[in-house]
Amino acid sequence: MAADNRVGMQVALDSLLAFLRIKGGQGPNALKLDLDPSLDVTDFYGAQSLTAAQENVIGNSAATFLSTIATQPRRYIAVSASLTVGAAGGTVQSISVGFRLNTTSTVNTYWAVNGPFAATIGQVYRVGADVRGVILPAGHQIVARIDGNAAGADHNLNLEYTYQRLDGLP
């Protein structure tokens, strides 16, 4: 006899009920409180726990900027960074985004790199990575890094990322 692959639900989210066209306040009872595993509901649960964050630092000539330490696991959707070049353009710059797993480790990987490029004063350069589905454990940090030979510490580095919380139902 085959094993029963159904998964019990405690809560049916509004977006999932709308997708299944279940209306009228019936809630999860219309689903008989279980789901067939052939339906991937990950994005529905993540949609209500989606968080966008933006962090920046002014005064980076050639530095690594680390996001706030994540206190829970996260499923990332997208990560990007932008560099606004200050008064000292330099001849070679690059910008990249990645992550490190804990505060004592080096950067584990760079998802995307833009450069090297000739940095023009006042220009904004951006790098982005579609990292949909990458899950990182608690204690990790997102990294934005600029490298180059600019003489001044007058660049503005902006880090943006979107993720889904993986700490339970919303």
Q: What is the pLDDT of residues 25-75, one digit of tens each?
A: 555 555 555 555 555 566 665 566 778 888 877 665 557 777 888 888 888
* pLDDT bracket for residue 1 (50, 70, 90): very low
Q: What angle do CA 113, 114, 120 make, to 5 degrees?
A: 150
Q: 0.75 exceeded by the pTM?
A: no
* pLDDT bracket for residue 134 (50, 70, 90): confident
Answer whether 128's CB lies under 8 Å from 79's CB: yes
**8: its two tokens:** 């019990």
Q: What is the CATH number of domain 52-165?
A: 2.60.120
Q: Using the 8-state DSSP alphabet, how is residue 42 labeled?
A: H
* pLDDT bracket for residue 15 (50, 70, 90): confident
Q: Which residues contact 137 (CB under 8 A, 6 or more apart)?
A: 73, 101
Q: What is the mean pLDDT of residues 140-145?
A: 88
Tell me the pLDDT of the chain averaged across its residues. 74
The CATH 2.60.120 domain(s) of the chain lie at: 52-165
